[in-house]
Amino acid sequence: MMNAVQNEIGKLLFNEPMARHTSWRVGGKADRLYIPSGLDDLCKFLESVAKNEPIYFIGLGSNLLVRDGGIRGTVILMHNVLTELRMEEGLVFVEAGVTCAKLAKFCAKEAMEGAEFFAGIPGTLGGALAMNAGCYGGETWGVVSRVVTVDRQGQLHTRDASEFKASYRHVDMPVASEWFVGAWLKLDAGGAHEATQKIKDLLARRLASQPLNLPNAGSTFRNPVGDHAARLIEASGLKGYLIGGAQVSEKHANFIVNIGDANALDIELLIKHMRETVLAKFGVALQQEVKVIGEYEVR
């Protein structure tokens, strides 16, 4: 049974169903889920967390699969918490809880070009920084100047982009157990109308090609060099393939959709089947883009 402790500084939930906080709408219960009231409160809360307690930061819960047995540890929810977004000395400062879509629109309004691709990323900036999210030819770390991170002790650190090694859908952290809480983005001055139109075009492409009407977590696999995961999956005859309530999207083969009653195990088994089928047919080992956390359900 869920219990909550509410005070003026933040909200702490116990045994919180993660299906409420993931874009696939699946996932077991987290031992604890904390919703900070802001950055200072987040830092104070981290000071209070036991040293051996696992900590997971999430935003919109996209690109994430939480297993049915839930999470032993503490989840920190960033979406709608760290939402500062402003111009600062020619750079765009954005906190980790801002959605990528909102960031793209803000940059266009400020006549800054180069952030339009963020409109196609279904998550928050924190997640985009953590995985070097990108689409339509743009990548998050291609526009990062410097970042702010927080460590387990609640201490903040400002780090230059040169301290991080970013590659396709991956970022090497220079220090373990630090999480992104904000970034300064370096963009080109341009025209507001042109940037806004580009965003509209990108969103139209996304709507036409992706199954946005059903719960999904974005792309399941990274694109292999010189090819596309969706092409390989479709050519393997997997479009529409079902395991339980999880289905390979008939609209975009690199998306798995929850058709209404999927659980996390359905999705994880489908990911495994897709990988094994493509490997057997084409000899290509697809690399998973979706992050899987949590425990298997004991049955």
Under a CB-based contact definition with an 8 Å cutoff, are residues 84 and 182 in contact? yes
User: Is pLDDT at 195 greater than 80 in this prediction?
Assistant: yes
pLDDT class for 192, splitting at 50, 70, 90? very high
Q: Is residue 46 classed as helix, strand or coil in its secondary structure? A: helix
Contacts of residue 207, defined as CB under 8 A and 6 or more positions apart, other chains included, come to none
193-203 residues labelled b (16+ CB within 10 A) or e (exposed): eebbebbeebb
Nearest residue to 132 (alpha-carbon basis) of 100, 95, 93, 92: 100
User: What is the mean predicted confidence (pLDDT) over 257-284?
Assistant: 98
**Dihedral over alpha carbons 223, 224, 228, 233 (to 10 degrees):** -100
Instruction: Tell me the percentage of the chain whose pLDDT exceeds 70.
Output: 97
Catalytic residue (one of 219, 236, 268, 275): 219
pLDDT tens for each residue of 168-190: 999 999 988 999 999 999 999 98
Under a CB-based contact definition with an 8 Å cutoff, are residues 59 and 94 in contact? no
CATH T-level topology, domain 229-293:
3.90.78
Would the CATH topology of 85-209 be identical to that of 229-293? no
Catalytic residue (one of 146, 169, 268, 275): 169
User: What is the mean predicted confidence (pLDDT) over 192-204?
Assistant: 94
3-77 to CATH, choices 3.40.1050.10, 3.30.420.40, 3.40.50.720, 3.30.43.10: 3.30.43.10
Give dist(CA 184, CA 173) in Å, integer: 17
Under a CB-based contact definition with an 8 Å cutoff, are residues 66 and 28 in contact? yes
Task: For residue 194, indicate whether it is catalytic.
Answer: no
Nearest residue to 27 (alpha-carbon basis) of 79, 66, 78: 66
Catalytic residue (one of 16, 95, 268, 289): 289
Backbone angles phi, psi at 172, to 5 degrees: -90, 120
What is the predicted pLDDT for the residue at 285?
98
Give dist(CA 131, CA 273) in Å, integer: 24
pLDDT class for 224, splitting at 50, 70, 90? very high
User: Is pLDDT at 4 greater than 50 in this prediction?
Assistant: no
**In sequence order, which ranges of the chain are alpha helices (DSSP H)?**
39-48, 100-109, 125-131, 192-209, 229-235, 264-282
What is the predicted pLDDT for the residue at 5?
44
pLDDT tens for each residue of 228-262: 999 999 999 999 999 999 999 999 999 999 999 99
pLDDT class for 7, splitting at 50, 70, 90? very low
> Chain-wide mean pLDDT for the chain?
95
Nearest residue to 46 (alpha-carbon basis) of 205, 157, 135: 157
User: What is the mean predicted confidence (pLDDT) over 194-214?
Assistant: 94
pLDDT class for 6, splitting at 50, 70, 90? very low
pLDDT tens for each residue of 104-147: 999 999 999 999 999 999 999 999 999 999 998 899 999 999 99
Q: Following DSSP, what letter does each residue of 159-228 receive, concatenated?
A: EEGGGSEEETTEEE-SSSSEEEEEEEE--EE--HHHHHHHHHHHHHHHHHHS-TTS-B-S-SBPPPTTS-
Provide the CA 262 distance to its chain's centre, in angstroms. Answer: 20
User: What is the mean predicted confidence (pLDDT) over 31-42?
Assistant: 96
Instruction: Tell me the percentage of the chain whose pLDDT exceeds 90.
Output: 93
Q: What residue spans define the domains of the chain?
A: 3-77, 85-209, 229-293
Nearest residue to 238 (alpha-carbon basis) of 276, 291, 283, 205: 276
pTM (2 d.p.): 0.93
Task: For residue 206, indicate whether it is catalytic.
Answer: no
pLDDT class for 8, splitting at 50, 70, 90? low
Task: For residue 289, indicate whether it is catalytic.
Answer: yes
- Tell me: domain 85-209, CATH 3.30.465.10, correct? yes
